[in-house]
Structure 1
Amino acid sequence: MADLYRANHALVVIHLVSGAVPLAMALAGNENVQLGNMMIACNIISLCHYSVLYGRVWGWYTAGAGLYTYFVAPQGTKMAYPLGLALLEYCACGVFHVRFNF
């Protein structure tokens, strides 16, 4: 998300902190699952907002893959989470596109 909002430095910092704080807490041994889930949900909502503003359909696919991976995927299966992350990464690559005008 920080890459998508390069022009707005405040949003870039917010998105970077939203990932760094839960990571630092987990590394320190004070993991807060609710805070991590809230940060993921905020980033998914931000991605949906970006998709509406700029008409990026792959942003919607990425948000759906994120919802599946982090909130819907069955917890008991060992393959659901890695496959969800792979789908998330594939869809995220589609958000960035280059237009060539000839």
Structure 2
Amino acid sequence: MPVTSIAGRDIHVDAEGFLTSYDEWTPELAEQLAAQIGIDLTDAHRKVVAFLRDDYATQGETATLRRVSTLSGVGTKELFTLFPKKPAKKMAYIAGLPKPHGCV
């Protein structure tokens, strides 16, 4: 399992850079991960990230874009605005979760 250093911490990641250990994630790490992909986190971003992490803890897998838009109260258009181009991958990356099934 590859290890990368982010903000002075060693973090376990997969070949695509997604965290592989749920417990290594912190809100501060989320800020760093978001900055790496050009996103400045706002409260709206944090709401989505918190939903994803809570959902993962209960479901055992990363929520799809449809699940997030249906259950989080944040519509699909807003998700695309918050996380441009590939929102599901970007949300999961910042939330420190595995890439959702079906993402290329």
TM-score above 0.5: no
Report the TM-score range of the alignment, normalised by the length of the smaller protein: 0.3 to 0.5
Specify which structure has the higher proportion of strand: 2
TM-score by length of 2: 0.33
Specify which structure has the higher proportion of helix: 1
Q: Considering only CA atoms, is the larger Rg found in Structure 1 or Structure 2?
A: 1
TM-score by length of 1: 0.33
